[in-house]
Amino acid sequence: MDPFDMRILAALQQDGRLTNNELAEKVGLSASQCSRRRQHLEAEGTIRAYHAALEPAAIGLHVHAFVQVTLATHSPDNARRFQRLVEGLDEVLEAFAVTGEADYLIRLVVPDLPALARILNEVFLPHESVAHVRSSIGLTCLKDSRILPMPPPRA
């Protein structure tokens, strides 16, 4: 990736709706060069998707929770069962295998506390792969960004 690709990525992170002409103006290339580069970045998977960033509260999602999960046993089969569980929950926004006391850290968003209780008590806790669940509720969001920091161009 060269500095032009990095500028294209930075511009598209700010506004994924940019036309090739608008993008070309921002990065200093022709529209056709921007189009080819964008297609290449999409094809290689650097650009994974385009989407609209929604305000959760505007659509009734008021509770942000962080759930630490410890597995019952540490085996590949158990980890796969848990992964399938998490993949099937629309409320889960992100799920990471982590180091430390817990095995996984999950970020989810739900309408209210009863919805969170339902997921914890009826989905996570009874699941065969899960031994322990600990949750924390986000009170105030200090920063909410999906924009990745752009590393300096390589020499």
Q: Is a pLDDT exceeding 80 seen at residue 153?
A: no
* Those residues with Cβ within 8 angstroms of residue 116's Cβ, 6 or more apart along the chain or in another chain: 63, 65, 108, 110, 135, 137
- How does pLDDT run across 92-145, given as a tens digit for each residue? 999 999 999 999 999 999 999 999 999 999 999 999 999 999 999 999 999 999
Rounded to whole angstroms, the Cα distance separating 66 from 137 reads 6
Q: Is a pLDDT exceeding 70 seen at residue 155?
A: no
Residue 59 φ then ψ, to 5°: -110, 20
State residue 1's pLDDT score. Answer: 87
- Cross-strand bridge partners of residue 133: 69
State residue 44's pLDDT score. Answer: 97
- How does pLDDT run across 24-65, given as a tens digit for each residue? 999 999 999 999 999 999 999 999 999 999 999 999 999 999
pTM of the model: 0.88
State residue 136's pLDDT score. Answer: 98
